[in-house]
Amino acid sequence: MSLQSPTWSLHPQLETDTVMVGDLPLSRLLVSNDANYPWLVLVPRRPGASEIIDLEEADRARLMIEITMASRSLKAVTSCDKLNVAAIGNMVPQLHVHVIARRRGDPAWPKPVWGAVPPRDHEPTALANFIADLRRAVGL
Amino acid sequence: MSLQSPTWSLHPQLETDTVMVGDLPLSRLLVSNDANYPWLVLVPRRPGASEIIDLEEADRARLMIEITMASRSLKAVTSCDKLNVAAIGNMVPQLHVHVIARRRGDPAWPKPVWGAVPPRDHEPTALANFIADLRRAVGL
């Protein structure tokens, strides 16, 4: 039996908090279950990575490319006023990057979204349409 | 008179909220005046950039390299538990990336730092030593 590298799987908390959009070359692209804001999450499929600096150099470069793809797609789909891009990870240790579409007048504006107001459920058809639009925008 | 490209200058709010560490090839490296957390800010010296996606591709790649340099240096200097990396910019439109050293038990832990507790002034000698350590770590 050959030595296997550890397999990657999505952290259970991210599994609970998001729905799948698709896999980019490095990262799994997810949508947050909080409908207060159009909110994407990129999770590099690298076992054990907790910080951006835990990634290899080529993966960090790729992550910037995927942040750019996700940001442009989200901006195109939502016509938002501002993008918020953040790797926080104080609660969930698996490296994940938030890409959030902000609008003047959204429930947290101008503050960051975390903890600002209680999460709100998606309307299923709106969520399905949002994911379909995103998949097209991002080329999935 | 030849056509000049617009010159870059640091946004007045960032000028007020930070002190200078030095200039990396793309970004000005700053320390936040809030002593609650060891807190760096990278500001790409590109006039008019508000979002990461406003930068040219080569500058985005360079920004990832400088985020990595700042993150590694901050972690080496502080022995922090977690790094928080974020481009928010809802209040200050000039593109800036926060790189914050977090510790279990710091005043906002495990929440993001923005708005969590009132800012606290630096002790001048501690700040001077922190900046000297950072400059060494980052190679300035």
- pLDDT at position B83 is 98
pLDDT at A3 over 90: no
B interface toward A at CB cutoff 8 Å? 50-53, 60-61, 63-64, 67-68, 71-72, 75, 82-91, 102, 109-112, 114-115
Q: Is the pLDDT of residue A1 over 60?
A: no
CA A126 to chain B, closest CA, distance in angstroms equals 26
| Of residues A4, A21, A59, the one with CA closest to residue A140 | A21
* Rounded CA separation B12/B88 (Å): 17
A14, A100 contact by CB (below 8 A): no
Q: Is residue B113 part of a domain?
A: no
* Structure confidence by residue, pLDDT tens digits, B90-106: 999 999 999 999 999 99
Partners of B84 in beta bridges: B100
For A46-86, the pLDDT digits (tens) are 999 999 999 999 999 999 999 999 999 999 999 999 999 99
Q: Is residue B102 part of a domain?
A: yes
Query: What total number of domains does chain A contain?
Result: 1
Task: Note whether A52 contacts B68, CB cutoff 8 Å.
Answer: yes
A103 lies in some domain = yes
**Whether residue A4 has pLDDT greater than 70:** no
At A23, which amino acid appears? D
Average pLDDT, chain A: 96
In this prediction the pTM is: 0.96
Angle at B128 between CA B9 and CA B103, to 5 degrees: 95
Q: A68 vs B84: CB contact, 8 Å cut-off?
A: no
What is the interface pTM, i.e. ipTM, of the complex? 0.96
A1 within some domain: no
A29 domain residue, yes or no: yes
- Return the CATH number at B48: 3.30.428.10
Is residue B122 a contact partner of residue B114, using CB atoms and an 8 Å limit? no
Query: Would you say residue A72 lies in a domain?
Result: yes
Identify whether A3 is part of a domain.
no
Structural domain containing residue B22:
12-107+120-138
Residue A33 belongs to a domain: yes
Check residue A6 and give its pLDDT.
83
Q: Chain A to chain B, count of Cβ pairs less than 8 Å apart?
A: 88
Position A106 scores a pLDDT of: 98
CB–CB of A98/B112 below 8 Å?
A: no
